[in-house]
Structure 1
Amino acid sequence: MKKAEHTPGIRWLALIAALVISVFLNLGMGSVRLSWSELWADGEGLNSAQYVLLNYRLPKALAAICTGAGLSLCGLLMQTLFRNPLAGPFVLGISSGAGLGAALLLLGSSALMSTVGAVTPSSGLLILASSMGSLGVLLLVGAMAKYVQDTLSLLIVGLMLGSVTTALVGVMSYFSSSEALQQYIFWSFGSLGGMSWPQVILLLVFTFVGIVLALAMIKGLDGFLLGEDYAQSMGISPDRIRLGCIIAAGLLAGSCTAFAGPIAFVGLAVPHIARQQIKEMGHRYQIPAVLLYGSTILLLCDSLAQWPGSAYVLPINAITSLFGAPMVIWIVLKQKRLRF
């Protein structure tokens, strides 16, 4: 009996320990090997190892934490909103909508580019455009979900919306300049590296706002998951919860995609992993769980993309797809066993 009482606490400590270990593992990965003696060396200014750690490795690790946590929480909110185990920012086309918003800036017409000036992934305009694109697709999926109750049918709707946004991006790519096209292609691969401290801080702020919005809706999310009639009997406004989920999910998906590019399957797979490992089903437990699991998993994926001593870096999207695609297949095969 005592062992059962202590098991949840041990599980949470193990999650935190795994996150800390993943951070140190990620900091040690890169084309330049860092030694402890150089990192702890005293002297005027920063030596090369300290400079690499503070200006490249540490911002990348923090970006992985924010992006993994943000996309995972976005997936949890969407699965609650649609009561659908296959809901996720990438699968339902939300990430594609964010990519379309980014493409409108990166691949826009010469008139638009002359208006906004040089646009980079660090621009606040890019965050706004990505968030608006993700919100637009999310609203379309939400409207169609009222008429499409079947899980696989809703998945097909999301995939078709993603195809439409991809086609629009393709049309813009055809008419864009080579410099803008190169910039967009590099962004579309997905990357956590190359972020400056101001960019990381801005990503942290947007992720924090999304987390606060989700935490403020914990009671409403639990009631909404049990049905709108039950939520209303508890004094919860389903429309308010629905709007809050859309705003928080759009903000998280848009900001994470704007900075890190479209990253697949994290938002879909991580909530299912959290439900399997954390048996408590309330959102007061599920939200912290997906934040910890999402951060840890994306840190590990980024570490796999960059082996120590190697100058080659794999696209983070390729690693997450190898991890997440089998999870989607498993969810489809085991769909009847899932309870929402």
Structure 2
Amino acid sequence: MKSKSIILLIFFALLAFTWVNIGLGSVSISQSALFKILFTQEEVNSTWSYIIWEYRLPKAVTAILVGGALGVSGMLMQTLFRNPLAGPYVLGLSSGASLGVAILILGGSLFGGLLGTLIFSKWALVIFSSLGSLVVLLAILTTAIKIKDSMALLIIGLMFASLTGAVVSVLSYFSPASNLQQYIFWSFGSLGNLNWQEVGVLFTFFIIGSVVCLFCLKNLNALLLGENYAKSLGVNIKQNRFLVILSTSVLAGSVTAFAGPIAFIGLAVPHIIRQVIKTNNHFILMPSVLFGGAIIMLICDTIAQLPGSEYTLPINAITSIFGAPIVIWLLIKKQKITF
């Protein structure tokens, strides 16, 4: 089957899983009622309408944006570093966001005053998370200009992650249990806390990061054969590396800011898609990974909802439980991941 046909099938699968995700939850809503609420002006149960338009639909759109952004980010990092274990957070962006949130939540009890009052602001977590990612991003970009070796840049990113993790540990040690619990809840990740305004902001960052990514795709195809070969084709390695890091930072950083750190998706989705579509052409991989990441995120969110139950499981736990066995199975079946 041609790659374009597979991409089209993945897209229709995305639409199907979106419908399933919206239709399932703690409140049972029939398929006919769901159709009327979404596509007709016919009056239906007002409570059901509120649940669909103000909770389930924003959450489904958030899952699509989060899954797509992390999938594309993972693809970019794996190609840039030519490392199948690289993910969207390998540069320390997630750790930087975690540090920003830790300063807000855990540091609020230590420093008091303004930070203590900001904890209860809805946008405070987003702002501090974004600032934390931005600080790490600026440090990485500054380093990328001076360092030629991509593997050295990868190690530096891991060191940034280790450093910020150590600061978070110190803040956690001195924080009261209530603040520590709030920080832990944030670290679980969540897709259901965004209203339409916040989804719109996340979508804006998603578009910006995706557009930057489009300028990298041709050079990434050349980079698969090595940096020396890419240079011989006229690829500006430093400029390409800058664009890849910028795109990943915008995509993964915005996701972390609005939904918290989401594990597994960025690491595994590119590998899964490469097993479905036998190509390394990034012009084909990008839409496939985007749609595939969105589908897997929707599936994980549907499972996390525990349909028919009032409980919701942490999305981070579901992504790992659902995804790790798939990757292990693919490795055993194929013996190696083509890259």
> For this structure pair, what is the TM-score category when the shorter chain's length is used for normalisation?
0.7 to 0.9
Q: Which runs of 5+ in 1 are unaligned?
A: none
Which of these residues, 23, 27, 38, is aligned with residue 28 of structure 1? 23
- Listed one character per residue, the Cα deviations across residues 280-310 of structure 1 (whole Å, up to 9, x for unaligned) are 2111011111100000000000000112220
Q: What's 1:317 paired with?
A: 316
Letter in 1 for 2:233: M
Code of the aligned partner of 1:118: L
Aligned residue identity for 1:270: V
Contact 1:72 1:266 in 2 (8 A): yes
1:39-188 counterparts in 2 under 5 A? 39=34, 40=36, 47-90=46-89, 93-109=92-108, 111=111, 114=114, 118-119=118-119, 120=121, 122-123=123-124, 125-132=127-134, 135=137, 146=149, 162-176=161-175, 180-188=179-187
Distance of aligned partners of 1:8 and 1:271 in 2 relative to their CA distance in 1, 3 Å threshold: same
Q: Deviations over 1:197-250 (max 9, x none)?
A: 111111111111111110121112212222222222222210001011111111
Q: CA deviation at 1:327?
A: 5.4
Displacement, 1:261? 1.1
AA aligned to 2:293 is G
Mapped partners of 1:20, 1:224: distance in 2: 33
Percent identical residues: 47
1:244–1:278 CA distance, 2 compared to 1 (3 A): same
1:258 to partner: Cα distance: 1.3
Structure 2 residue runs of 5 or longer lacking an equivalent are none
- Tell me the TM-score normalized by structure 1: 0.84
Distance 1:238 1:117, change over 3 A: farther
- CA deviation string 1:183-209 (max 9, x = no partner): 322211111012111111111111111
Q: Which residue of 2 aligns with 1:305?
A: 304
- C-alpha distance in 1, partners of 2:337/2:143? 22
Q: Would the aligned equivalents of 1:108 and 1:172 in 2 still touch at CA under 8 Å?
A: yes
Amino acid at match of 2:249: G
Shift of 1:171: 1.5
Please give the secondary structure, in 2, of the residue aligned with 1:88.
coil
Q: Using the alignment, how far apart are the partners of 2:250 and 2:122 within structure 1?
A: 16
Return the alpha-carbon distance in structure 1 between the equivalents of residues 175 and 138 of structure 2. 23
SS where residue 280 of structure 1 aligns?
coil
Whichever residue aligns with residue 16 of structure 2, its letter is: I
Q: Do the aligned partners of residues 176 and 129 (structure 1) sit closer, same or farther apart at CA in structure 2, a change above 3 Å counting?
A: farther
Shift of residue 92 of structure 1?
A: 6.4
Q: Normalization by structure 2: what TM-score? A: 0.84
Contact 1:101 1:132 in 2 (8 A): no
Amino acid at match of 1:105: L
Q: Tell me which residue corresponds to 1:216.
A: 215
Q: Distance in 1 between matches of 2:150 and 2:335?
A: 21
Counterpart of 1:226? 225
State the SS of the aligned residue for 1:229.
helix
Structure 1 CA distance for aligned equivalents of residues 312 and 175 of structure 2: 27
Moved more, 35-44 or 175-184: 35-44
Q: CA RMSD in A?
A: 3.4
Shifted more, 13-22 versus 163-172: the winner is 163-172
Aligned residues: 330
Residue in 1 that maps onto 2:280: 281
The alignment partner of 1:108 has SS state of helix
Q: Which residue of 2 aligns with 1:11?
A: 6
Aligned residues of 1:105 and 1:129 also touching (Cα < 8 A): no
Residues 1:199 and 1:282: Cα distance change in structure 2 (over 3 Å): same
Structure 1 residues 112 and 67: CA distance shift in structure 2, 3 A: farther
Judged with a 3 Å threshold, the aligned counterparts in structure 2 of structure 1 residues 19 and 336 are, in CA distance, closer, same or farther, namely closer
